[in-house]
Amino acid sequence: MIEFAVEHDLGSTRAVLLDRQHKYGEAVKQYLDEDQVSEALDLTLEHIDEVMRDVDAFNGIVEKCLWRYLSFGCRVWPESASIPVDKVDALLRWTPGPDVNDRDERRVCYLQSLFAE
């Protein structure tokens, strides 16, 4: 079935098939290739550990979801954002972080405070 989806350029169908085969990183990348960022983020939140193991998939999520909308210059979530703030908040909360120093911890707390408003 995957071959059929690739042959007929059915990217969204391929993403669903990859998801069913538990190839979550590949499915996330396929959703992102199809500009279905919300679906990619949903799948990432459901299977965060597996998606984080696929560096390209997780980098894609960071670029399409976090980098696009998060900035230290932003004060409120843009109304035109195609991704709901609660999904990004969930991603930030579920993403395990390395040990951080005090300065970095303050930055993370500041980011999280933006979502609490």
In the chain, % of residues over pLDDT 90 = 20
9: left (phi over 0), alpha (psi -120 to 50) or beta: left
DSSP strand E in the chain: where? none
Residue ranges covered by each domain of the chain? 2-116
pLDDT tens for residues 9-22? 556 778 888 889 99
Give the pLDDT band of residue 8 (cuts 50, 70, 90).
very low
**Higher pLDDT pick, 71 / 64:** 64
Q: Is the pTM of this model over 0.75?
A: no
pLDDT tens for residues 24-52? 999 999 999 988 888 999 999 999 888 88
